[in-house]
Structure 1
Amino acid sequence: MNRMDATPEPPARDLPRQLSPEAFHDAEGVDDWRVLYWGAHAFFRAASYAEGAAFVAAITSRDEVARHEPDVDLRHEGVAVKLISRDVRDLSVRDVEVARLVSAIAREHGLVADPSVLQVVQTAVASPEAADVTPFWQAVLGYVRPNDTHLVDPLRRSSSVFLQPTEFVREGRGRMHVDVCVPHDQVESRIAAVLAAGGRIVDDSFAPEWWTLADAENHKVDVTTWWGRESTRLEEERPGPA
């Protein structure tokens, strides 16, 4: 077969330009959305399950949305949508475009975004490299392992598990803690609610990326935001809250 008979290689698909969380929030038309763990999130209140279902049908009927394959969760309170560009495993300009479209369809259906209910919860377990507890947690939870430090629900419903290297666990920190990621514009009210409920601030030296709080029994929780971070791919770039 000569060169003229060869089937040409298909052109490489151009990857979208990645965006930092701050760049996503600086974009116009994304006021309904908040960057949390692993993507941009929005929740749209619905008056009924049927109203929410009609909204889901409307957004998934659009090719731009369907091709992007967002995670969509329909409940009788409303519809939660999460966006992430899976080809770059991060936020991109494509997420901004889809977010604008989803918000526009929500307005057409009379749905209003409620960022106050958005959050992502993660459990952190201190795991020295020499003691591989990953198979245990993976088996007991039925999770998948996308990288060396995280286990996630394969359907992305429940909280993830962060197998935190012990060298990043400070003295007196404890072997397990909970990470609660909330919108950057909701974090002050969340912390105020925790303090009013009897909690205390243990460490705010990393704020506004995270605050370490504790209950009366000294159980630790990191309330975290994406403000100041460069990527949603936190687990591959830095040790994260400790």
Structure 2
Amino acid sequence: MADPQEPRMTAKRFHARPGVEDWRVLFWGAHAFYAADSLTHAVALASAVAEIADGLDHHPDLDVRPHGVTIRTRTRRGGGLGPLDAELARRVQEFARGEGYRPDPSTLMVTGIAVAQDRDADVRPFWAAIMGYEPLDDADAVDPQRRNPHVWVHELTPPKPGRGRTHIDLSVPADHAKARVEAALAAGGRLVSASPEGWTIASPDNHGVDIAIWPDFEDFGEDG
């Protein structure tokens, strides 16, 4: 994990590093997907990533499927980045491109469950217990295996005692988000709000979905 004295690398500074064009910063770190022709082809890339990671003593999460490999790297437990993430991303990209693996950032996405609670309630212990998750920072509960959607607990505004609400948070690459929004609207969704940070979409039966793009370009704060 990170040296607590080391400033967090923002998404803007990460993307400014040369050789990381295949990568996008979403919730919980920097991500890349490389398409593969078979499971054997995917495993070969995963093995190469493991060698790179061992050389740096900095190990990412890998999801290996017959159609490709998804890689996520972060320095801090909450997803904050550091210089080793940029260097790992550069080396992985150099190898993958040299071996003909095809990047496809449009497939990248991180899903979260946002749980609203009343001002005097504390529902995170319940969600952590029922999901088998661990608390993280002040508001999150996360899968210790880093496989499944995180739970983010926030105050319900305005307060509505005895009535909890949930919505889905989707973190997607900033350069592919508009197409996702347009597809959702064409499928019957309703635009609730839009800002430079993302969109809120309501489903045909009024379930809320936030599409967040700010993690992919943010340039503020020192903690992560």
TM above 0.5, one fold?
A: yes
CA contact (8 A) 1:127 1:166 kept: yes
Does the 8 Å contact 1:21/1:230 carry over to 2? yes
Q: Structure 1 CA distance, aligned partners of 2:92 and 2:178?
A: 28
Give the structure 2 partner of residue 214 of structure 1: 202
Q: 1:118 to 1:103 in 2, by over 3 A?
A: same
Partner of 1:230: 219
Residues 67-109 of structure 1: CA distance to partner in whole angstroms, max 9, x if unpaired?
1111111111111100111389511222111100011111232
The unaligned stretches of length 5 or more in structure 1 are: 1-12, 237-242
Q: Which residue of 1 aligns with 2:13?
A: 23
| Counterpart residue identity of residue 178, structure 1 | I
Question: Displacement, 1:65?
Answer: 5.4
- Tell me how far apart the structure 1 counterparts of residues 95 and 221 of structure 2 sit (CA, whole Å): 26
Change (3 A) 1:121 1:41: same
What is the aligned-residue identity percentage?
A: 39
CA RMSD of aligned residues (A): 2.6
State whether structure 2 residue 124 is matched by structure 1 residue 123. no
Q: Across the two proteins, how many residue pairs are aligned to each other?
A: 218
1:26 and 1:169 map into 2 onto residues whose CA distance is 42
More strand by share: 2
Q: Does 1:133 align with 2:133?
A: no
Q: Which has the larger radius of gyration?
A: 1
TM-score with structure 1 setting the length: 0.81
1:49 is matched with which residue: 39, 57, 78? 39
- 2:75 corresponds in structure 1 to 85
1-side partners of 2:154 and 2:208: how far apart? 15
TM-score w.r.t. the length of structure 2 is 0.88
- Determine the C-alpha separation between the residues in 2 that align with 1:232 and 1:178: 25
SS of 2:169's partner is strand
Contact persistence 1:90–1:232 (CA under 8 A): no
Matches of residues 176-191 of structure 1 in structure 2 within 5 Å?
176-191=166-181
Extract unaligned runs of 5+ from structure 2. Answer: none
Sort the Cα spacing of 1:194 and 1:109 in 2 relative to 1 into closer, same or farther, 3 A.
same
CA contact (8 A) 1:209 1:227 kept: no
